[in-house]
Structures are given as C-alpha cells and as structure tokens.
Amino acid sequence: MEVNFSAIESLLDQGKAVVSSDDASTIEWALNATREGRTATLYVSKPVLQAILQRYWTPKRVEFAGLRPISDDEIARVRSDFKIDIGGYANSLECPRCKHPYSTYDFIQQGIKEHGEEAVRSTFSFKGGVFQINPRQAPVCQRCGLIIIGVGFYSYLYNGPDGRPEYACGAVIVIVIFD
C-alpha cells in the first residue's frame, strides 16, 4: 500500500486530522461519537460504512427519523439537473414559512451553494463511503431562504448506482419536553 504523505500533510495544514485504524475500532468509534454528540466526517471503505449503518439505522431510528425511499421522480430530477446518480433513503422537512418540502434535491442544491459544485461532485463520486456524524449544516429552504429549525432534522442514507451505501449521516437524538 502506498501512502500519499503530501495529501496527509495538506490536510494537516488545513487543521484536519488523519487517523488510521482497524475496521472494528473505526466502527465502534463512529457509533460512540454519534451517541456522545461529537461532530466528524469519516471517509471509510464501503464495507465499513455499511457496518456502521447496519448498527446505527435501527428500525426504531428509521421510523423516528421518517426515512423513506427517495422517489423515482426526485432521483430523475437530481440526475437531470445535477448529473448525480443517487438513490437510497431520506426524510423531508417542511419549511414552516412557505411549506416547501426540503428534500434530497434541496440538500444537494444547498451543498452546491455552500461548498461549491466541485466539492459536492467529489463527495458523490468518492469510491469509498462518507459518514457525517452529528452534522452541523442547518437546512435552508431553497424556495424562501428560511433556516429550518424546530421541525426535526434532515437525515439521509444515499446509495450509489450499485445500491451500496455511499453517503449517510448519523445524529444523536435528544428530545426535551417542557411543561
């Protein structure tokens, strides 16, 4: 295995960390970090991502988050407008002001606005898997510009054309009820 130290040094110069670990330790670390509310993005092999997701996305968590298969219409729209092949599951949030549903299309559109088209394309063309732990990106209604808060959180489990997980999130879920 060849290690590209110049790429590692470039990341370190940006204030990032690079960690090498065995698969089992990475999976446990990711699940613990999710539970503990830490924020990180992991770039792992697809089998490691699949193992994390099998343990994270339990049936109760899927139900609570409202994950549903991404519709064929949305898949076609993303493919047509962004030239990204995507499938999988996501939930939808409704904008409290204009009632526009924030969906996968909106997530990608917001990502392009905030990070640039190249960064989004690179994420979706990455040969490994990406797992965002407690992502801090606030959904922004792509119709009226309102930051969507208080109506849940946007969750996603995107698959590539081969049906294998490619890009997903995991978040600690805390519910506080005040009387």
Q: What is the pLDDT of residues 12-28, one digit of tens each?
A: 999 988 888 999 999 99
pLDDT band per the 50, 70, 90 thresholds, residue 136: confident
User: pTM (2 decimals)?
Assistant: 0.87
pLDDT band per the 50, 70, 90 thresholds, residue 2: confident
pLDDT band per the 50, 70, 90 thresholds, residue 144: very high
CA-to-CA dists, residue 99 to 62, 89, 115, 173, angstroms = 23, 21, 25, 24
Is the pLDDT confidence value at 11 over 80? yes
Residue 108: CB partners within 8 Å, gap ≥ 6?
Answer: 78, 82, 84, 86, 120
CA-to-CA dists, residue 2 to 27, 48, 56, angstroms = 24, 20, 32
Q: pLDDT tens, 45-65?
A: 999 999 999 999 999 999 999
Is the pLDDT confidence value at 178 over 70? no
Structure-token pair, residue 168: 């997903």
Structure-token pair, residue 104: 């996968």
Q: Which residues on neighbouring strands pair with residue 94, listed in sequence order?
A: 101
Q: pLDDT tens, 85-104?
A: 999 999 999 999 999 999 99
Q: What is the pLDDT of residue 179?
A: 55
- Give the rounded distance of the alpha carbon of 16 from its chain centre: 19
Is the pLDDT confidence value at 176 over 70? no
Task: Give the mean pLDDT of the chain.
Answer: 91
Is the pLDDT confidence value at 175 over 60? no
Neighbours of 139 (CB within 10 A): 20
Which single residue is written with the structure tokens 């049906």?
A: 163
Q: What is the pLDDT of residue 36?
A: 93
DSSP character at residue 147: B
